[in-house]
Structure 1
Amino acid sequence: MDTLRFDWPAWLPAMNRTTHLHTSPYGALDFLPLETPRASGNAIDPVSLADLLRNGFVYPPHTIYRDVKNVQTGFTLQQGMQDEFRFHFAYQSTSATSRPASGAVSDETLLNTFHQLLTQAVQRSTATMRAPWLLQSGGKDSTSLAIAVADARPDTTCITYLGGKEENEVDSARFVARQLGLRHEGWVCDPGRAYDRYVAVAPRIPLLTADFATLSYVDVATEIGLHHGDGIIDALGADPYFGVPLHLRDRVLYWLARSARLPGAWLRHPLVRRHFKLCFALGTLQMHGFERYFPGSRFSDSEVDELLGANVSGYSRQRMDAYRDDMQAAESAEAVRRIVLVVMEAAGFAKGMYTAPTMGLRLAYPYCDPQLCEWIFNSVPDDLLIGRGGVNKVLVRRYIAQRFEALPYVRAKGSFRFDVQGLAQQRFEQVHAFALQVQTLVPGASKWLEEHRDCLDNKFFASKFYLLAVTLPWLLSRLDNPVNAAADAPPSDADRVDELVSA
């Protein structure tokens, strides 16, 4: 690849030596290297900015800083090489040679072992928590985790966060919690409140992600702190080991992603801009198939180049090369999907890892417990991982069925999403002001906002607004002379959480 050059100001001095972080959910979380003057003085990476706007997260092992790399799951440093990383995900289904045949182990034995290992994983991961809260979406992972939590940590409070109209698993989550004897809280997303909380803590967030649940996480974490909780139990982590089957919709979208370049005016045409599905299809045409697996509507390559004032989107695409060997070796579309799931740790886990510690909260990911992961991958028969007809997590479904009969999660979407249209409606002027203040980094943001202001009732465009809303205040807080719009504001919820934690 040619050396990337930009005629942009050197916003901050670059480090002489790369800083390496290790933030895998399967190990310890350590942001200490970022607290040194050498790390905090690092320059923003324009390619990573393009990653965020194109996909909602920075491609690992890169970070928003040019000289800070994050050695996440699957990555290893080449021996003797300071910045040469190699990616390989060992947990592909074809490498599990020891799995028993279907029916070789009784369901009773498998379910009992699963419960024992999951319960032990909860105990280990929450050992330092005094008052844990479980993020309970009402889906399979959080429901199965709630069953184990009821045995291992019955002092846990369950929280379900209703972020949008399409979510209808709240009744399921509440029913499960109450039947298990766990306290349950249900909160409704107020996009303005959540955004104000995010802006207040952005200067303390060590790295930047724009995952579509980042604002939900900040909102929930703030409430947990205000209610004297000190830890969050999150059900992420099971998918790479159970596998995620591809359905017809996934295959159609993959085929539709053609890396096309379409004029932005097409999407703003009055006959197009009001129709989410049509906009989504046109947006998909402009994506790479691998990146279409990532959720949400994001900026096209042409838009990213205009936002950043340079032809940078191509360099962001080239970061997929790190996964090329594994993708070419993958024996099925489902195997490629497992790679996607590992890449998306950079978004899914980051939203908690980057935000919760700023509010003094510990994190627990029981489904990332090494003993549990190894057992799921090596000791559970194939047909209990992915069943006939593409039914996923058959073992988990049977585990839940021991305690509960039919639950809505088999038909409905989960919770903890975010009301992106509501955010655009309530905080447009504030985000536009941020865009004007951060023009040295994202010179085209204010123009994009002005051109699309009348389109933001469509979730397709509102999702792009969300990416700017999350990215801009974090960047502003890293400028040499940031304008503190909240300087004269009363103490925020984040300040109150700090007081509670220190007390």
Structure 2
Amino acid sequence: MRSHDYLAQTQRDGPTGTAPQRIQINASPHAGEADFSAVHGVSGQVENLDPVSIADLLRNAFVYPPHSIFRNVKLATTGFSPQQNLHDEPAFHFERQSAAVTRPSADVVDDEQLIDTYHRLLGQAVVRSTAGMRSPYLLQSGGKDSTSLAIAMSEVARHTTCITYLGGQEENEVDSARRIAQKLGLRHESLTCEPGRAYDRYLALVPRMPLLTGDFALLSYCDLATDIAQGGGDGIIDGLGSDPYFGVPPNGKQKLLGSLARRVRLPAALLRMPVLRDSFRMSYVLGTLQMDPFERFYPGSRFTDAEVDQLLGHPLSWLSRQRLETFRADIDAASTPEAQRRISATILEPALFAKGMYVASALDLRVVYPYCDGPLCDWVFREVPDEQLIGPGGVNKVLVRKHIARRFGTLPYVAAKGSFRFDICGLARERFDQVWTMAGQTRALVPGAPAWLERYRHQFDNKYFASKFYLLAILLPWLLHRFDGARAEADGGDSA
């Protein structure tokens, strides 16, 4: 029996033979640093792999929680109690919903006192989370969260080095981030994206990465974390974590894209028409039409359901989409698009945080998230007026902006900042042959990958298609390393 046939059968009927040990890990960043040591022995056997999780990764660039890439490993991320049995009917509930608490009104709270309290709590969060770090590095993008963190760290952790990643020319935050660090008296370094180098560093870490995510900043993280380790750093400070309790108002573009998502299936040949295949905007819109409206909240261009079924050789996309039902009660109870985005930000946690957790684990580094500190989270969620969270016109993190302005005035990437950048088109240009070879070697597990790569190999200057190439470039070497039988069967067996 071919491996992909076996994967489909075990998804329907369950694994054969002796059931693998069930593993459950508390991986919420609010619970401190996760311990993935129990996962080390879960590899090498095809029956441990969860094919629906592969479909998750291809469809959405992450695995739906509480699942992982392995069928017998579940993760207690935010919204899932680590005390419940996550293997059998896991229950999700997000407590920090905007309507869940009555906050004080803006007219009874002094702005300066509010900023002082936020600054003090953030500093305490830094002290607690970085305890024991001798040479920490702050990932400093120049945006709101990392700049506010840098201000706090300049008082309580002056041995910190700020490091900024230049992932593309759309936004060059290096000069702004350097000036911020220098004014605060912190050391600053920068790293310019070289996609081939970043990919080599990812491949070097694959054998030691406990689990898998397809986050579009994973390669950037591998690049940065390897530099940090080589530079003598012993810890990473990441500014993720405040979106769910500060609020994430959707902008006009996100609302429009959500209205366009209709879960329709379009002919694949449509995207290969000359007028459409060269236009990122048109490709992105056509891809959006084929998405679930809620899943359009997730960032990036990903494979359509039809493509996922073709890649995996079986209709597994519907099982991936079905996993969204775990969150349906909370989604339906969310009364506004902003409330729904809070839930989406929580569901996305495994992708956003896992890249740091898995990479740090592979490099024996610590990674911490001060914005996930309990006292800080609870104070912002319960004691900060609504107007200081989301302002007129959907301006987010008003209090954080005021905290920064008190020290720096107006900064370019605080006023307006886009997404994390990586040269995905450059990766496709530099590493197509390498990924194509791995697609052949893992054909037994992802039988449609070689054909897809051949079909679109001349379209990777379009970021829509390059994003999908990126997902395969992440997935295939991870599978190849762990499932030795995949190469032998692909080389000696028939192909799909």
Q: TM-score range by the shorter chain?
A: over 0.9
Shift of 1:258: 0.3
What residue identity is the alignment partner of 1:454? H
- Among 295, 302, 307, the alignment partner of 2:299 is 295
Q: Distance in 1 between matches of 2:160 and 2:487?
A: 40
Aligned to 1:161: 165
Q: Is 1:52 aligned to 2:61, yes or no?
A: no
Aligned to 1:62: 67
Question: Are the equivalent residues in 2 in contact too, given 1:48–1:62 (CA < 8 A)?
Answer: yes
Cα separation, partners in 2 of 1:329 and 1:9, compared to 1, 3 Å? closer
Aligned to 1:26: 30
Q: Is 1:94 aligned to 2:99, yes or no?
A: yes
Question: Are the equivalent residues in 2 in contact too, given 1:61–1:72 (CA < 8 A)?
Answer: yes
Q: Distance in 2 between matches of 1:415 and 1:228?
A: 28
TM-score (norm 1): 0.92
Aligned to 2:439: 435
Q: Is 1:380 aligned to 2:392, yes or no?
A: no
Question: Are the equivalent residues in 1 in contact too, given 2:44–2:484 (CA < 8 A)?
Answer: no
Shift of 1:346: 1.1
Q: Distance in 2 between matches of 1:37 and 1:301?
A: 28
Shift of 1:417: 2.2
What residue identity is the alignment partner of 1:129? M
Cα separation, partners in 2 of 1:10 and 1:448, compared to 1, 3 Å? farther
Q: Distance in 2 between matches of 1:81 and 1:339?
A: 19
Shift of 1:416: 4.5
Identity %: 57
Q: Is 1:273 aligned to 2:277, yes or no?
A: yes
Question: Are the equivalent residues in 2 in contact too, given 1:14–1:66 (CA < 8 A)?
Answer: no
Q: Distance in 1 between matches of 2:404 and 2:16?
A: 52
Aligned to 1:331: 335
Cα separation, partners in 2 of 1:440 and 1:20, compared to 1, 3 Å? same
Question: Are the equivalent residues in 2 in contact too, given 1:309–1:444 (CA < 8 A)?
Answer: yes
Cα separation, partners in 2 of 1:81 and 1:371, compared to 1, 3 Å? closer
Aligned to 2:196: 192
Task: Please list the CA deviations of residues 241-266 of structure 1 after superposition, one character each: whole Å capped at 9, or x if unmatched.
Answer: 10011121111100000001011111
Q: How does 1:107-122 map to 2 (within 5 A)?
A: 107-122=111-126
Task: Please list the CA deviations of residues 375-408 of structure 1 after superposition, one character each: whole Å capped at 9, or x if unmatched.
Answer: 0000100000001111111100110011001110
- Among 185, 210, 214, the alignment partner of 2:218 is 214
Q: Distance in 2 between matches of 1:182 and 1:223?
A: 18
Shift of 1:17: 4.0
- Among 227, 231, 248, the alignment partner of 1:227 is 231
Q: Distance in 2 between matches of 1:236 and 1:448?
A: 34
Cα separation, partners in 2 of 1:38 and 1:172, compared to 1, 3 Å? closer
Task: Please list the CA deviations of residues 149-208 of structure 1 after superposition, one character each: whole Å capped at 9, or x if unmatched.
Answer: 111111111000011121232222111111101111111000000001111110110001
Q: Distance in 2 between matches of 1:412 and 1:456?
A: 28
Question: Are the equivalent residues in 2 in contact too, given 1:137–1:414 (CA < 8 A)?
Answer: no
Shift of 1:37: 6.1
Aligned to 2:324: 320
Cα separation, partners in 2 of 1:350 and 1:7, compared to 1, 3 Å? closer
Q: Distance in 1 between matches of 2:11 and 2:404?
A: 57
Look up the SS of the partner of 1:160 in the other structure: strand
Aligned to 1:496: none
Question: Are the equivalent residues in 2 in contact too, given 1:140–1:397 (CA < 8 A)?
Answer: yes
Aligned to 1:445: 449
Cα separation, partners in 2 of 1:14 and 1:66, compared to 1, 3 Å? farther
Greater mean alpha carbon deviation, residues 260-269 or residues 6-15: 6-15
Q: Is 1:413 aligned to 2:434, yes or no?
A: no
Question: Are the equivalent residues in 2 in contact too, given 1:144–1:396 (CA < 8 A)?
Answer: yes
Q: Distance in 2 between matches of 1:37 and 1:351?
A: 19
Shift of 1:84: 2.3
Aligned to 2:491: none
What residue identity is the alignment partner of 1:69? K
Look up the SS of the partner of 2:91 in the other structure: strand
Give 5+ residue unaligned stretches, structure 2: 1-6, 489-496
CA RMSD of aligned residues (A): 2.2
Shift of 1:67: 1.3
Q: Is 1:43 aligned to 2:55, yes or no?
A: no
Q: Distance in 2 between matches of 1:436 and 1:147?
A: 50
Aligned to 2:142: 138
Look up the SS of the partner of 2:48 in the other structure: coil
Look up the SS of the partner of 2:407 in the other structure: coil
What residue identity is the alignment partner of 2:76? V
Q: Distance in 1 between matches of 2:449 and 2:291?
A: 21
Q: Is 1:391 aligned to 2:395, yes or no?
A: yes
Aligned to 1:261: 265
Question: Are the equivalent residues in 1 in contact too, given 2:74–2:86 (CA < 8 A)?
Answer: no
TM-score (norm 2): 0.93
Q: Distance in 2 between matches of 1:38 and 1:164?
A: 35
Question: Are the equivalent residues in 2 in contact too, given 1:169–1:412 (CA < 8 A)?
Answer: no
Q: Distance in 2 between matches of 1:189 and 1:81?
A: 38
Aligned residues: 481
Aligned to 1:104: 108
Shift of 1:343: 0.4
Question: Are the equivalent residues in 2 in contact too, given 1:367–1:373 (CA < 8 A)?
Answer: yes
Q: Distance in 1 between matches of 2:261 and 2:341?
A: 15
Q: Distance in 1 between matches of 2:384 and 2:324?
A: 32
Aligned to 1:175: 179
